[in-house]
Structure 1
Amino acid sequence: MIRNKKEYKQYLKRDRLALEIYNDGIINKLKNLFFPNPIWTFQKRMRKLEYYTNCKNYGLYKLYIYYLKYRYRKISIKLNFSIPINVFGPGLSIVHYGTIVINFTSRVGANCRMHACVNIGASGGEVQGPQLGDNVYIAPGAKIYGNISIPNNTAIGANAVVNKSFSEENTIIAGIPAKVIGKVDIKKIIKYV
C-alpha cells in the first residue's frame, strides 16, 4: 500500500521495469508518446489513485479523487479489468489485457506477473480473499479463491484452480484442484526479480 510520495514513485518505477517500458533515448520516448502501452496507462492511473486515496484524502483533493476514479474506471472497462486499488505490491506486470477479476480483500505481494483470464476472489460466503506472497507468477486462466495463502516464489499454472493454502516456496502449483507438481526457479519466469 502506498503511504507517501516516495513510495508512489518507487511503485511506478518498479511497475515500469516489470512491464519493460523504457523511456531512455529519443526513439523510446517517441514510441511511448505516439503508441502508449494501454496496460502501462492503466497501472499509472491505478497507482495515482492509490496515492491520492491513501495520502491526500481531504479537502479539495476529494474532488480530484472522484475524477481519478472516473478515469480509472473508464480504462478498466476498456481493458476488461476489475482490479480494485491497494491490492498489488510494487512490480506488477499484467502481460495481456483481457478479463481479470480481483476481489478487494485479496492481497498480492511485490513482483507479480499475471496473464489474462485470471480470477482471484473470496469463496462463497467468505469475506476474506487470497493472500499471495512476493514473486508470484500467475498463468492464463488461473482461478484462486477462498481464505487461503500462497507463499513467495510460486508459479501457478494455466487454468489451475487453487482453493487451498500452500506453504512450500519455489514450487509450481497446477491442476484442478491445484497441487504442487514440481520445483521452480522463479527468476527464470519473472525476469525483473
Structure 2
Amino acid sequence: MINSYEAYMEYLNADKRALRVGDSFRDKFFHPIWKYQKLLRTLEYYMNCKRGFISKIVLLFLRYKFQKESIKLGFSISPNSCDMGLELGHYGDIIVNGKAKIGKNCTIAGAGILIGEDLKNPNAPTIGNNCYIGPGAKIIGNITIAEGTTIAANAVVIKNIIEPYTTYGGIPAKKISDKSVKQQ
C-alpha cells in the first residue's frame, strides 16, 4: 500500500518496469495502460497520504479522471487492491474486486478476467507475488493463490492453490504443470 511519496515513486517505477515502458515521448504520453496505471497509483497516493481541503479537491478530480479512463479501457480495478509491479497485458474487461489483494509483480494478461467474491462469502481472493493470470480467467471467492502460480487462459479457480510455482487450468481449475510461467 502506498503510504508515502517514496513508496509512490517505488510503485510507479516497478509498474513502469513491469510494463516495459521506455523513456521516449511516445511511451510516456501515448501508452494507454501506463497512463491508466500512473493514474491508479496517483489516486492511491492521494487517498492514503494526502489530507486537507486542496487535496480533497484534487482527489475528486483524480477520481473523475480515473473513472473516465477505466470506462475507456474496460478496467474496473479498485484502488489499493494491487501491489507494485502490476502488468496489465491488454485493455478490455478486467475486473478486480475492492476486497481482493494482488501481490507484487503480478501479470494480468488479457481481457475477460474477473477477480472477485462469490455469493456465499463476501470476501475476495488473495493472490501471491509473481503470479500470472491468463486471458479469460476467473478467480472467485475467499481463496488464496500461492506465490508464482500461473492461471491458464479461461480457467475458473474456486479453491485455494497452496503449491507455489505451479500451473492451473480448466473448469474448475486443476493442476496441469509443476512449472510456472514466471518461474526463473
Which of 111, 133, 144 is the matching residue for 1:138? 133
Gaps of 5+ in 2: none
Residues 136/98 of structure 1: CA separation in 2 closer, same or farther (3 Å cut): same
Mapped contact 1:135–1:186 kept (Cα < 8 A): no
Mapped contact 1:171–1:183 kept (Cα < 8 A): yes
Describe the SS at the equivalent of 1:116.
Answer: coil
Alignment RMSD: 1.4
Structure 1 moving runs of 4+ over 3 Å: 185-188
Mapped contact 1:144–1:161 kept (Cα < 8 A): yes
For the pair 1:156 / 2:148, whether they are aligned, the reply is no
What letter corresponds to residue 170 of structure 1 in structure 2? Y
Once the 2 structures are TM-superposed, how far is the Cα of residue 15 of structure 1 from its aligned partner? 0.3
Q: In 2, distance between residues paired with 1:156 and 1:70?
A: 33
Once the two structures are superposed, what CA deviation does each residue of 1:136-162 show, in whole Å capped at 9, x if it has no partner? Answer: 000000000000000101100000000
Once the 2 structures are TM-superposed, how far is the Cα of residue 116 of structure 1 from its aligned partner? 1.5
Describe the SS at the equivalent of 1:181.
Answer: strand
What letter corresponds to residue 141 of structure 1 in structure 2? G
TM score, norm. by length of structure 2: 0.95
Once the 2 structures are TM-superposed, how far is the Cα of residue 109 of structure 1 from its aligned partner? 0.3
* Residue equivalent to 1:86: 80
Once the 2 structures are TM-superposed, how far is the Cα of residue 66 of structure 1 from its aligned partner? 0.5
Once the 2 structures are TM-superposed, how far is the Cα of residue 127 of structure 1 from its aligned partner? 1.4
Higher deviation after alignment, 54-63 or 163-172: 54-63
Describe the SS at the equivalent of 1:60.
Answer: helix
Mapped contact 2:114–2:138 kept (Cα < 8 A): yes
TM score, norm. by length of structure 1: 0.91
Q: How many residues align?
A: 183
* Residue equivalent to 2:92: 98
* Residue equivalent to 1:19: 19
Which of 162, 171, 176 is the matching residue for 1:176? 171
Once the 2 structures are TM-superposed, how far is the Cα of residue 58 of structure 1 from its aligned partner? 3.1
Percent of residue pairs bearing the same amino acid type:
43
Once the 2 structures are TM-superposed, how far is the Cα of residue 184 of structure 1 from its aligned partner? 1.5
Which of 53, 61, 68 is the matching residue for 2:55? 61
* Residue equivalent to 1:124: 119
Once the 2 structures are TM-superposed, how far is the Cα of residue 183 of structure 1 from its aligned partner? 1.4
Mapped contact 2:82–2:103 kept (Cα < 8 A): yes
Gaps of 5+ in 1: 24-28
* Residue equivalent to 2:39: 45
Q: In 2, distance between residues paired with 1:95 and 1:60?
A: 35
Once the 2 structures are TM-superposed, how far is the Cα of residue 181 of structure 1 from its aligned partner? 1.1
Q: In 2, distance between residues paired with 1:91 and 1:62?
A: 27
What letter corresponds to residue 11 of structure 1 in structure 2? Y
Q: In 1, distance between residues paired with 2:71 and 2:13?
A: 25
For the pair 1:74 / 2:52, whether they are aligned, the reply is no
What letter corresponds to residue 112 of structure 2 in structure 1? C
Q: In 1, distance between residues paired with 2:122 and 2:154?
A: 24
